[in-house]
Structure 1
Amino acid sequence: MVSAEKETKKDETAELARRRGFIWQAFEIYGGVAGFYDYGPLGAALKRRVEAKWREFYRREGFYEIETTTIAPRPVFESSGHLECFTDPAVICKRCKSVFRVDEQIGVGASCPECGGVLEPSGEFQLMFQTRIGVAREGTDAQALRKSEGYLRPETAQGMFINFQRLLKFNRDKLPFGILQIGKAYRNEISPRQSLIRLREFTMAEVELFVDPAEKTRHPRFDEVKNRTLPFVPNEGEPVEVRIGEAVSQGIIANEYLGYHIGRVDEFLECIGLPHDRVHFRQHEKDEMAHYAMDCWDAEFLSEKYGWMEIVGIADRGDYDLSAHAASLNIDLRVRTETGKVVPHVIEPSFGLDRIMYALLESAFYEEPLEKETRRVLRFKSDIAPIQVAVFPLLNRDELKSKAQEIVELLRNDSFFAEYDTAGSIGKRYRRQDEIGTPYCVTIDYDTLEDATVTVRERDTMKQVRVPIADLKAALV
Structure 2
Amino acid sequence: CPECGATHRADHLVEDGTDIEEAESLGTERVAGIIAEHDITCPTCGTGLAGESVETFNLMFETSIGPGSSSRGYLRPETAQGMFVEFPRLAEYARNQLPFGVAQIGRGYRNEISPRRSLIRVREFTMAELEHFVDPESDAPPIEQVEDVSVPLYSAAAQDGDGVGGVTWTTIGEALADGTITSEWVAYYLGIAKRWYDRMGVDMDRFRYRQHLSGELSHYASDCWDAEAEIDGNWIEITGFADRGAYDLSKHDAHSEEDYSVFKAYDEPRTAERPSVDPDMSYLGPEFGGAAGDVADELAALAARDPSAFEDSEVTVEVDGERYAVPTDATGFAVREKTETGEHVTPHVIEPAFGIGRVLYTVLDHAYREDEIEGESRSYLALPDELAPTFVGVFPLMDKDGLGERAREIAADLREAGLAVTYDDSGNIGRRYRRQDEVGTPYCVTVDYESLEEGTVTVRERDSTEQQRVAIDELPARLAALRAGESFGG
**TM-score for both structures, normalised by structure 1:** 0.74
**CA distance in 2: counterparts of 1:166 and 1:257, whole angstroms:** 24
Matching residue within 144, 163, 166 for 1:223: 144
In the alignment, does 2:251 pair up with 1:321?
A: no
Question: CA 1:117–1:276 in structure 2 vs 1: closer, same or farther (change >3 Å)?
Answer: closer
Aligned to 1:453: 456
Secondary structure (helix, strand or coil) at the match of 1:196 reads coil
Q: State the Cα RMSD in Å.
A: 1.8
Matching residue within 43, 46, 50 for 1:113: 43
Aligned to 1:98: 6
Instruction: Please state how far the C-alpha of 1:311 moved relative to its aligned partner.
Output: 1.1
Tell me, yes or no, if the aligned pair for 2:183 and 2:243 is still in contact at 8 Å: no
Q: Which amino acid aligns with 1:111?
A: T
**CA distance in 2: counterparts of 1:344 and 1:398, whole angstroms:** 70
In the alignment, does 2:178 pair up with 1:255?
A: no
Q: Which amino acid aligns with 1:319?
A: A
Tell me, yes or no, if the aligned pair for 2:183 and 2:223 is still in contact at 8 Å: no
Secondary structure (helix, strand or coil) at the match of 2:181 reads coil
**CA distance in 2: counterparts of 1:126 and 1:378, whole angstroms:** 39
How many positions carry a matched residue from both structures? 373
Q: Deviations over 1:222-277 (max 9, x none)?
A: 10101112121111242432211121122111121111111011111011111222
Instruction: Please state how far the C-alpha of 1:387 moved relative to its aligned partner.
Output: 1.4
Tell me, yes or no, if the aligned pair for 2:88 and 2:259 is still in contact at 8 Å: no
**CA distance in 2: counterparts of 1:128 and 1:158, whole angstroms:** 14
**CA distance in 2: counterparts of 1:194 and 1:202, whole angstroms:** 13
Tell me, yes or no, if the aligned pair for 1:95 and 1:117 is still in contact at 8 Å: no
Matching residue within 281, 288, 300 for 2:228: 300
Question: CA 1:150–1:401 in structure 2 vs 1: closer, same or farther (change >3 Å)?
Answer: farther
Q: Deviations over 1:340-387 (max 9, x none)?
A: 322111111111111111111111111112222111111101110111
Q: Which amino acid aligns with 2:244?
A: R
Tell me, yes or no, if the aligned pair for 2:88 and 2:258 is still in contact at 8 Å: no
Tell me, yes or no, if the aligned pair for 1:131 and 1:150 is still in contact at 8 Å: yes
Matching residue within 79, 85, 97 for 1:156: 79
User: 1:407-422 alignment to 2 at 5 Å?
Assistant: 407-422=410-425
Q: Structure 2: which 5+ runs fail to align?
A: 15-30, 159-163, 267-341, 484-490
Secondary structure (helix, strand or coil) at the match of 1:105 reads helix
In the alignment, does 2:157 pair up with 1:236?
A: yes
Instruction: Please state how far the C-alpha of 1:284 moved relative to its aligned partner.
Output: 0.4
Q: Which amino acid aligns with 1:287?
A: G
Instruction: Please state how far the C-alpha of 1:314 moved relative to its aligned partner.
Output: 0.6
**CA distance in 2: counterparts of 1:310 and 1:159, whole angstroms:** 23
Which has more radius of gyration? 2
User: 1:27-38 alignment to 2 at 5 Å?
Assistant: none
Aligned to 2:215: 287
Instruction: Please state how far the C-alpha of 1:467 moved relative to its aligned partner.
Output: 1.4
Secondary structure (helix, strand or coil) at the match of 1:124 reads coil
Matching residue within 364, 369, 374 for 2:372: 369
Aligned to 1:352: 355
Q: Which amino acid aligns with 1:198?
A: R
**CA distance in 2: counterparts of 1:449 and 1:168, whole angstroms:** 63
Matching residue within 272, 275, 279 for 2:200: 272
Aligned to 2:304: none
Q: Structure 1: which 5+ runs fail to align?
A: 1-92, 137-141
Q: Deviations over 1:152-187 (max 9, x none)?
A: 221111121111111111111000011111122111
Q: Which amino acid aligns with 2:153?
A: F
Aligned to 2:120: 197
User: 1:358-437 alignment to 2 at 5 Å?
Assistant: 358-397=361-400, 399-437=402-440
Secondary structure (helix, strand or coil) at the match of 1:292 reads coil
**CA distance in 2: counterparts of 1:413 and 1:180, whole angstroms:** 33
**CA distance in 2: counterparts of 1:171 and 1:355, whole angstroms:** 32
Tell me, yes or no, if the aligned pair for 2:155 and 2:211 is still in contact at 8 Å: yes
**CA distance in 2: counterparts of 1:398 and 1:100, whole angstroms:** 63
Instruction: Please state how far the C-alpha of 1:414 moved relative to its aligned partner.
Output: 2.3
**CA distance in 2: counterparts of 1:129 and 1:475, whole angstroms:** 52
Tell me, yes or no, if the aligned pair for 1:365 and 1:376 is still in contact at 8 Å: yes
Instruction: Please state how far the C-alpha of 1:398 moved relative to its aligned partner.
Output: 5.8
Aligned to 2:270: none
Secondary structure (helix, strand or coil) at the match of 1:285 reads coil
Question: CA 1:155–1:306 in structure 2 vs 1: closer, same or farther (change >3 Å)?
Answer: farther
Secondary structure (helix, strand or coil) at the match of 2:157 reads coil
